[in-house]
Amino acid sequence: MTYNEALEYIHSVCWMGSRPGLERITELCSLMGNVQDKLKYIHIAGTNGKGSLCSMLTEICKEEGLRVGTFTSPYVFRFNERMAVNGEPISDTELAKITEKIKPLAESMKDKPTEFELITGAALLWFYEKNCDIVILEAGMGGRLDSTNVIKTPVLSVITSISLDHTSFLGDTEEKIAYEKAGIIKEGVPCIYGKMKESCAEVIKERANELGSAVQGCDYGKLSNIYLSADGASFDFEGFEKRFKLNLAGGYQPYNAALAISCANTLGFSKESIYKGLKAAKWRARFEILSKDPYVIYDGGHNPDGVDACVKTVKELFEGKINILSGVMADKDYHLITELLKPVAHKAFCVTPNNPRALASSDYAKAFEKAGIPALAFDDMSAALKAAYNASKNEKRPLLAMGSLYMYEEFINEYSKY
């Protein structure tokens, strides 16, 4: 099997959208010999902040001398990014080989696995074959019925945040979503949770107490003296003598780092590993500064909570309003997103992301106009970026591209021409 044949199979296998449930992934893992039970995991669920936390914990584990697998979704630029060992994505050859092993097992099942279940199974088998000491495992959607929840041997469960997203699958209140995320907690395994309403924290604590699992919220009060710039951030954290440095921009990153520090402390990692790991952490499409003349930034915030965090960073780093280039999926609360952008948006340049679930740029532009933000709709990324970039350069105004991770590759390919 070639790399292209592997991708073709992965993307075509019995794709019926999201079908929550553990029956299929459990059967697939059984056919694989349940090799996933021979690995250790840090299992991460939550609405926002998962990707950045995965990067931070991966780097900290590397500094501890561990061989670490990382499973994230969706990919930002290339499919192979979804599974990596020590930060190196799976090679084309290895992906082809692992898919070739998985395919006959999946084909033998009466109820075939979904695409995400197939990818999860392939990643778990690959991590086993690569002799990983620990796996940073990001849940895809929810937690309780997410295919990553097939694992039985985590050393830590982490819930980053709770806000409204994927409501048709996870529930229409934050408390219902918290219940689904809390489904990753395992008996006797410690759990740490991040920023959320107290009512959501209570849902998580109740589930942890039922399972006899130690549970604690991240103490953000230990975070102080935060300094932000377009190049990253620095901050102090109680109990650590030296100042922390991050190369990740975004006002929310010191808070993600605080959660990473709490996780690392719980696992007994050294202070030096935490310092070095956080400084080394990288994560594309999270307030990623691509240029400074004019400022061009990409942020993958795609739900109200993520957009709100992005807006706060814009306010902290820039004076005056900025231009927005954006496209979103039709299932997002795009009317609320435009309202959240209103305080910082000078003008919006709308595009339809290359995805079957995408919202038409004309409908998105109407939502911006309704929010009082002048907006233009474009048929393709090339035209949208040309207009947005030229306007921003002439006005000496920052340009923020945001709204969907599915737009990133197309945006970067076009932006590379400038």
In a 13 Å sphere around the CA of 189, the CA atoms on its Cβ side amount to 20
Q: How far is Cα 281 from Cα 300, in angstroms, rounded to an integer?
A: 17
- Superfamily (CATH H level) for 3-280: Mur-like, catalytic domain (3.40.1190.10)
For the stretch 11-25, pLDDT in tens is: 886 545 556 789 999
For the stretch 155-164, pLDDT in tens is: 999 999 987 6
At residue 313, the pLDDT reads 93
Higher pLDDT, 359 or 76: 359
The angle, 0 to 180 degrees and rounded to 10, between the axes of the packed helices 381-395 and 408-415 is 60
Of the listed ranges 191-200, 235-244, 330-339, the one predicted with least confidence: 330-339
At residue 15, the pLDDT reads 46
Domain 288-415 has CATH 3.90.190.20: yes
Residue 410, SS3?
A: helix
Question: Residue type for 54, please?
Answer: C
Q: How far is Cα 257 from Cα 248, in angstroms, rounded to an integer?
A: 10
Q: Is-cis flag, bond preceding 343, omega within 30?
A: no
Residues of the chain with CATH 3.40.1190.10: 3-280
Residues of the chain with CATH 3.90.190.20: 288-415
At residue 17, the pLDDT reads 52
> With pLDDT > 70 as the criterion, what percentage of the chain qualifies?
96
Give me 324's structure tokens. 């927005």
At residue 303, the pLDDT reads 79
**Span 301-315, mean pLDDT?**
87
Torsion angle of alpha carbons 310, 314, 316, 318, nearest 10°? 170
At residue 142, the pLDDT reads 81
Closest CA to 34 of 103, 119, 121: 121
At residue 336, the pLDDT reads 93
> With pLDDT > 90 as the criterion, what percentage of the chain qualifies?
82
At residue 109, the pLDDT reads 95
